[in-house]
Structure 1
Amino acid sequence: MELSGLLHGLTHQYHGKDKPVDYYLQIGEDRLPLNEWLNHEVTISYLGQKNCIACGRKTNKTFNSGYCYPCFTKLPENDLCIVKPHECHFELGTCRDESFGQSYCMIPHYVYLAVSSDIKVGLTRKNNELKRWVDQGAIRAIPIAEVPTRRMAGELEFHLSQFLPDKTNWRKMLKGEVREVDLITLRDEVYSHFPDAFKPFQYREDEWVDITYPILESLDKINSKTLDKEERIGGRLIGVKAQYLIFENGVFQARKHAGYQVQITVQSGS
């Protein structure tokens, strides 16, 4: 199989803890089933052009995983408060797009605990949690608070980051080096660090969510591959996790390359 187009990154579907996540590679309008490519030879070739994933214009450099510079500076999804939600400025009247703010920020959010490389605290829009957890490569996660807005979620996350990490070590995550932990017990410990104003928003689930990924083999050493240094990347595909394609000779971060024009070649495995 051979297909060319604009790379958009990975999408996925979760089917429960007993079945691996189904992954898809988005090329242009095509959604290609990655799980079917496991143990096949897959090659990703850069065709020498980048286009903005929002407006489509040709660009020499992409920003924030696929945007041209004008879209990076103007679109609300690229505002600084997206990565620093405790600095959300919607209520100050300075949001880049009020309708975006209403639908993205002024809605219920979860603050959660997840196990990816280690325990971390994070936030996500309500009903978006599984997408968020899979994108981060979490193997286990549980909501611990439900708050009315993104800013409030960001404030609670920022406060709890004094006691828990809020970042993932992507190399450990890909190698599967994780610490076993009882999230229910940890959640109850974390509740002792909640500021009084947030205690009414504590969210109690009876069970955490377990996530299994389509991985045939583990790598002893994580070697990151990028189309900025190599025009062609690939090899035998042995797994997919978070936004990474895991080859026997290295890993490829798909979302980082959103906006690249590529050609995908898949050959039958042994």
Structure 2
Amino acid sequence: MQYEGVLKKMQTEIGHPIQYYMLFESDFLNVNQVLDKNLKIEFIKFQCLNCGNDRPIYRQGFCKTCFFEIPSAGDWIMRPELSTAHLDQEDRDLAYEKKVQLQPHIVYLANSSNVKVGVTRKGQIPTRWIDQGAHEAIEIVEVPNRYLAGITEVALKNHVGDKTNWRTMLTNNIVDENLLEWREKLKQYIPEEALPYYLDNKSETQIEFPVLKYPTKVKSLNLDKTPLYEGKLKGIKGQYLIFEDNTVFNIRGSEGYYVGLTVN
């Protein structure tokens, strides 16, 4: 089987385990069906996810020009506390920013390598947790805009992590945590403006990933340095493909790379 197209974040579907899909312009691949098969990845060219041009990818699947111009790559994406649409203040495109920022957002706890706090739009639950490789997660607050979620995250990350150790996540060297207890412990640090939105009726969500074998020591595949790679696929976790020789490939980190895939 052969596929060709630009890499984008894998789409997921709830199941036991999670189902993963690579979507291309005129085809798709259920990646779960490739487990225990050889997968060859060949880099062909760049294709910016915004302009479509063959320019080196700078960040988030965009070329450098697009990254610094388009509204979907504004600083408030990575730093929700910088959101200003609720004040009617524009960053790059107020209509776009209102559409994204002025909707319900969730502040959550997720355990992928350790317990961490994060923010996402309500409609992205549980997709966001799956993308981070979290095997368990729980909601803390549901607020009406991105700014309130952002200031809540900033307040809580003084008392809990806000980063995932991707190597620990991929080797599965993790322990279960009682996220209900963590949520209750952190409640006292929630900003006053967000406290009315505290969720005390949500239970932990458990997530099962399709992994046959975890790597013992991960080696990251970089298509810039290794434009052609072939290996036996042994698992999918977060947005990573895990291969038998301990190589891991971050699909999300390679968005905008146009590749050929061969399954045999």
TM interval, short-chain normalised: over 0.9
1:190 CA drift (Å): 1.0
Choose from 54, 61, 70 the match for 2:65. 70
Cα separation, 1, equivalents of 2:151 and 2:106 = 12
For the 8 Å contact 1:143–1:205, the answer to whether it is kept is no
CA distance in 1, matches of 2:9, 2:263: 17
Give the SS at the match of 1:233: strand
Tell me if the contact between 2:110 and 2:134 (Cα under 8 Å) persists in the aligned partners. yes
Helix, strand or coil at the partner of 2:68: helix
Ranges in structure 1 where 5+ consecutive residues have no aligned partner = none
Q: CA deviation at 1:76?
A: 1.0
TM-score norm. by structure 1 comes to 0.93
In the TM superposition, what is the alpha-carbon distance from 1:179 to its structure 2 partner?
A: 2.2
Q: Does 1:81 align with 2:49?
A: no
Q: CA RMSD in A?
A: 1.3
Deviations 1:60-112 (A, max 9, x none): x1122211222211111101111011111322522312222122101111100
CA contact (8 A) 1:113 1:141 kept: yes
User: Are 1:234 and 1:247, in contact at CA under 8 Å, matched by a contact in 2?
Assistant: no
Mapping of residues 11-90 of structure 1, within 5 Å: 11-15=11-15, 19-47=16-44, 49-59=45-55, 61-90=56-85
Distance 1:102 1:94, change over 3 A: closer
User: In the alignment, is residue 139 of structure 1 matched against residue 135 of structure 2?
Assistant: yes
2:5 partner amino acid: G
Q: Distance in 1 between matches of 2:193 and 2:94?
A: 27
1:220 is aligned, of 212, 216, 223, to: 216
**Could you say which residue in structure 2 is the equivalent of 1:2?**
2
1:196-233 Cα offsets, whole Å, 9 max, x none, are: 33221101234211000000011110111110111112
Q: Is the 8 A contact 2:88 2:94 kept in 1?
A: no
- Give, as a single letter, the amino acid of the residue that structure 2 aligns with 1:14: I
Shift in Å at residue 136 of structure 1?
0.5
1:158 to 133, 154, 169: 154
SS at match of 1:192: helix
